[in-house]
């Protein structure tokens, strides 16, 4: 895994690397030797975003490099996405960032440098070890935070990228248990029949048709501070159940546990930073499969909360397993309850792959998270819990249905279903995310993406401070 060089690395041994804003190129060139300006002109370098200009010395070796940032107002707007993929375009040498970066910008620069080096190569033949470009931690950079974040996000991406043949409910459970042991967290796992015995009937119903039994992972850490509950959707593969998806719809369903992966990454960051919180993590881990024991359209399921749910669509399974876990988390009266889930295709139709849909029963909490998302370049977009749509969850035979007969407002209706399992006293955030990069971009290969983790960590870190 890529690492930052520490401040103990002699800067004289590292090559200079200048971040250059497009509109300030002339000012940067004016501060360089005239040969640099001539070389930049000959190379057609205009400081476009992601463009790299290698600067030669008098002997034909690389003397430094400039990174184009495109059209920014100043370096305070720099994000990790400006730097991601940079290491691939530099020669295998040590570099130091030249420029007066604020602590936030320095963290973004360093994280982007590391994050863009991620590759999922578990199933490829080992490549020959080649030396890559390395970065000396910028002067104002919190290297410990950057490296911890890089490790957590890379782990989440590995989990999401791993196919269901190697990451079923038990394997996801093992990953969570390994995290608990690493940080001396308390944990318990309910599997199969134990879910019914302990009153988690919907988790059991969704996962019972699979040859891999359903599980509930329950992790607790910390003994002081605010009570933070995290719930992640851990559907390790979603066939749609008896309401079977078509081939195209099933193709990426290994990533349907993306919410669980992001929750685990967030929990890892919280524990590694030793934040003064009482943390609880609940992950229902299941496969939604087809079989003789599969739950059916028209079935009525009991729930942990005590209400009943009529199944209108077995492909709306994520909200069912989340609901039982959310009810359990809510019962402990947390100061903040967060659930993350790849819940609806409707959210992607509305907002695309890069903007998770955010719902909350607390407007100020929602606004606060949106601000952190902007500051961390980890965006979310607010969506309404539009009460009139609750009638679409009505059932003639049960307390509510799990799906609407309408094709409208699918993400809103999914969030309204989950809201039924949250008490009015509990501040609650629900993020409907995609957890995937559908197109190739610098430093972001097609594959898993760990969304909302950095924004939520910043929110929780601020909220756990004394007086907040």
Residues that are catalytic: 245, 319
Supply 202's token pair.
């919907």
Residue 80 CB partners (closer than 8 Å, separation 6+) = 108, 109, 111, 112, 115, 116, 377
Euclidean distance between CA atoms 212 and 206, whole angstroms: 12
Residue 375 class from Cβ within 10 Å (0-12 exposed, 13-18 middle, 19+ buried)? middle
Residues 233 and 326: beta-carbon distance below 8 Å: no
∠ at Cα 160 (180, 442), nearest 5°? 120
Three-state secondary-structure class, residue 444: strand
The answer to whether 248 and 198 have CB atoms below 8 angstroms apart is no
Alpha carbons 265 and 338: distance in angstroms, whole number: 14
* E strand residue ranges, 175-246: 186-191, 215-221, 226-232, 234-238
Residues 149/154/155/160 CA torsion (nearest 10 deg):
130
d(CA 81, CA 98) in angstroms, rounded, equals 18
DSSP H or E segment with residue 358: strand 357-360
Assess contact for 82 and 70: CB atoms under 8 A: yes
CA 451 to chain centre: 3
Q: H or E stretch including 24? A: none
DSSP assignment of 55-115: EE-TTSSEEEEEEE--S-SSGGG--HHHHTTGGGGS-SSEEEE-S---HHHHHHHHHHHHH
Please give the distance of CA 25 from its chain centroid, rounded to a whole number.
35
């Amino acid at each position: 895994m890529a690492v930052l060089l520490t401040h103990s690395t002699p800067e004289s041994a590292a090559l200079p690397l200048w971040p250059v804003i497009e509109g300030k190129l002339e000012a940067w060139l004016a501060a360089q030797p005239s040969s640099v300006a001539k070389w930049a002109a000959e190379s057609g370098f205009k400081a476009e975003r992601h463009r790299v200009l290698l600067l030669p010395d008098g002997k034909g070796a690389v003397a430094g490099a400039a990174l184009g940032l495109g059209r920014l107002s100043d370096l305070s707007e720099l994000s990790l996405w400006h730097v991601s993929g940079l290491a691939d375009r530099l020669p295998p040498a040590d570099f130091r960032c030249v420029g007066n970066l604020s602590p936030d910008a320095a963290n973004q620069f360093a994280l982007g440098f590391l994050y863009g080096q991620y590759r999922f190569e578990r199933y490829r033949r080992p490549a020959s070890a080649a030396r890559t470009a390395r970065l000396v931690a910028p002067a104002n950079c919190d290297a410990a935070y950057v490296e911890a974040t890089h490790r957590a996000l890379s782990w989440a991406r590995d989990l999401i990228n791993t196919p269901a043949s190697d990451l079923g409910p038990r394997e996801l459970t093992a990953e969570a248990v390994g995290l608990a042991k690493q940080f001396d967290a308390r944990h318990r796992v309910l599997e199969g029949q134990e879910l019914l015995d302990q009153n988690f009937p919907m988790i059991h119903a969704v996962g019972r048709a699979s040859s891999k039994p359903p599980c509930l992972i329950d992790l607790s850490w910390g003994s002081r501070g605010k009570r933070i509950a995290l719930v992640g959707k851990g559907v390790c593969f979603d066939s749609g159940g008896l309401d079977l998806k078509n081939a195209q719809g099933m193709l990426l369903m290994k990533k349907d546990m993306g919410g669980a992966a992001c929750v685990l990454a967030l929990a890892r960051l919280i524990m590694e930073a030793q934040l003064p919180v009482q943390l609880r993590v609940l992950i229902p881990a299941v496969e939604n499969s087809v079989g003789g024991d599969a739950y059916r359209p028209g079935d009525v399921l009991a729930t942990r909360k005590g209400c009943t749910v009529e199944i209108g669509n077995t492909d709306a399974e994520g909200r069912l397993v989340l609901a039982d876990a959310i009810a359990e988390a809510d019962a402990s009266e947390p100061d903040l309850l967060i659930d993350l889930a790849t819940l609806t295709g409707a959210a992607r139709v509305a907002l695309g792959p890069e903007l998770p849909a955010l719902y909350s029963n607390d407007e100020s909490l929602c606004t606060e998270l949106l601000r952190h998302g902007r500051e961390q370049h980890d965006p979310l977009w607010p969506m309404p819990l539009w009460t009139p749509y609750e009638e679409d969850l009505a059932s003639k035979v049960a307390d509510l249905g799990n799906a609407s007969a309408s094709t409208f407002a699918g993400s809103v209706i999914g969030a309204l279903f989950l809201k039924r399992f949250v008490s009015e006293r509990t501040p609650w955030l629900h993020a409907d995310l995609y957890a995937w990069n559908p197109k190739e971009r610098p430093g972001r290969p097609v594959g898993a993406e760990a969304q909302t983790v950095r924004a939520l960590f910043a929110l929780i870190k601020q909220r756990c401070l004394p007086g907040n």
